[in-house]
Homo-oligomer: A and B are copies of this chain.
């Protein structure tokens, strides 16, 4: 599969000289070798490495057929999970689906990612009004937020549908053998999927954790997984010049050592907001140890240019910025012409919104770079499952 994401770090060349980057060449080669031999620290949790290939046809088709059955019963899937068990699915759904619930075939509503009576009381009204099913995601089944939320939602379902029908509407995603949720799933005969033991929560989007709710929402998970596989060659070369994931990691490392403690992931697409949130937990959970690690923050442009644009351009110089842009939207809306040009915007007539957005991106990149912020860009080909799969694997 051709690359559908492109990491452009040329603007960093003024700041990170080739020598400095090449000094990492050997560490990258060593790291890649350690990853392949699985003999470095944390080697119990390297399942993500060949994950896309491990998602064999049988697993994918079992997820798809369960999703199909649940879709026949329910309009809404209440998806209960927190952290990595929440953000991956949400990122994929917001990236792929229309902007408003009205235009979605099925709705996935997230719960258990916070502790709040008002939110649950509101959710209860939807459970009374619509046909619902539940996907509860927890390795152990004892994490507080999803645990207590599942108790509440399970009770609602048992009251609404009776114990047997409720059980037919509950899908558990949990440890393959042990833990409270696995035991309960056996006892109550819930449909169940495995969370592979060698994969940390923050990498779990391409396991049943992410794939089941995403399939329920109507997204093609075969293509998503194929996209991730397609990114493996991009991200496993031992030469830093050919491995853009390694180059991104090296650039971050160099910039952090120079006192750039904040990384802003700046999206130019509303559909990328939750990909940013997913990235935030990926980065935050992986770093932030021993009083070190980059503080990850997501800004949505151009919206946030009207809030933090001032700061980015002229604030404390402890920040670097990674832009994420989309090269092709699905639709093209253009600026209409009005004879009465009182707003003076006729000079933009018939211009596609995307070319205006692209100019905003280019102007911002230049202005922030001129203001002393090191910048680079990840460009995505389109809003497709394949591209998103590649992006997940790249990060």
Residues of A within 8 A of B (CB): 82-84, 86-87, 98-103, 109, 113-123, 125-126, 129, 141-142, 144-145, 147-148, 150-152, 155, 180-181, 183-184, 187, 261-262, 269-271, 277, 280-281, 284-285, 287-293, 295-297, 300-304, 306-319, 329-333, 335-336, 338, 340, 342-345, 348, 352-354, 356-357, 360, 372, 383
Which residues on the B side are within 8 Å of A356 (C-beta)? Answer: 115, 144, 148
- Cβ 8 A contact of A316, one of B115, B295, B333: B295
* Distance (whole angstroms) from the CB of A199 to the closest CB of chain B: 16
Which residues on the B side are within 8 Å of A109 (C-beta)? Answer: 100
- Bound CA span A161–B101, Å: 25
- Bound CA span A318–B293, Å: 11
Which residues on the B side are within 8 Å of A183 (C-beta)? Answer: 342
Which residues on the B side are within 8 Å of A86 (C-beta)? Answer: 303, 306
- Nearest residue, chain B, Cβ from A337: B151
- Bound CA span A102–B132, Å: 15
- Cβ 8 A contact of A116, one of B150, B269, B291: B269
Given A114-B302, A280-B307, A308-B284, decide whether A331 and B151 contact each other with a Cβ distance below 8 A. Answer: no
- Cβ 8 A contact of A311, one of B155, B269, B284: B284
* B315 & A291 in contact (Cβ 8 Å cutoff): yes
Which residues on the B side are within 8 Å of A285 (C-beta)? Answer: 306-307, 310
* A333 & B281 in contact (Cβ 8 Å cutoff): no
* A152 & B335 in contact (Cβ 8 Å cutoff): yes
Q: Top 5 nearest A-B pairs by Cβ distance?
A: A288-B311, A281-B307, A83-B306, A121-B331, A288-B315
* A99 & B115 in contact (Cβ 8 Å cutoff): no
* B331 & A117 in contact (Cβ 8 Å cutoff): yes
Which residues on the B side are within 8 Å of A295 (C-beta)? Answer: 262, 297, 308, 311, 315-316, 318-319
* Distance (whole angstroms) from the CB of A180 to the closest CB of chain B: 4
- Nearest residue, chain B, Cβ from A357: B115
Which residues on the B side are within 8 Å of A150 (C-beta)? Answer: 343
- Bound CA span A266–B122, Å: 23
- Bound CA span A179–B51, Å: 57
Which residues on the B side are within 8 Å of A114 (C-beta)? Answer: 270, 300-303
What would 25 A/B residue contacts be, using CB atoms closer than 8 Å? A86-B303, A99-B119, A100-B125, A100-B126, A101-B101, A103-B125, A115-B356, A115-B357, A116-B270, A116-B271, A116-B354, A117-B354, A118-B330, A119-B270, A121-B331, A148-B348, A151-B345, A180-B343, A180-B344, A181-B343, A261-B262, A290-B314, A291-B316, A295-B315, A295-B316
Which residues on the B side are within 8 Å of A316 (C-beta)? Answer: 261, 291-293, 295
Which residues on the B side are within 8 Å of A82 (C-beta)? Answer: 302-303, 306
- Nearest residue, chain B, Cβ from A148: B335
* Distance (whole angstroms) from the CB of A201 to the closest CB of chain B: 8
- Bound CA span A313–B375, Å: 28
Given A152-B335, A261-B318, A342-B184, decide whether A271 and B118 contact each other with a Cβ distance below 8 A. Answer: yes
* B302 & A145 in contact (Cβ 8 Å cutoff): yes
Which residues on the B side are within 8 Å of A345 (C-beta)? Answer: 142, 144, 147-148, 151
Among A109, A142, A307, which residue has the most Cβ atoms of chain B within 10 A? A307
- Bound CA span A296–B98, Å: 30
Given A100-B122, A126-B100, A281-B308, decide whether A141 and B342 contact each other with a Cβ distance below 8 A. Answer: yes
* Distance (whole angstroms) from the CB of A142 to the closest CB of chain B: 5
* A280 & B302 in contact (Cβ 8 Å cutoff): no
Given A285-B310, A308-B280, decide whether A99 and B122 contact each other with a Cβ distance below 8 A. Answer: yes
Among A98, A109, A118, which residue has the most Cβ atoms of chain B within 10 A? A118
- Bound CA span A300–B342, Å: 42
Among A82, A295, A310, A356, which residue has the most Cβ atoms of chain B within 10 A? A295
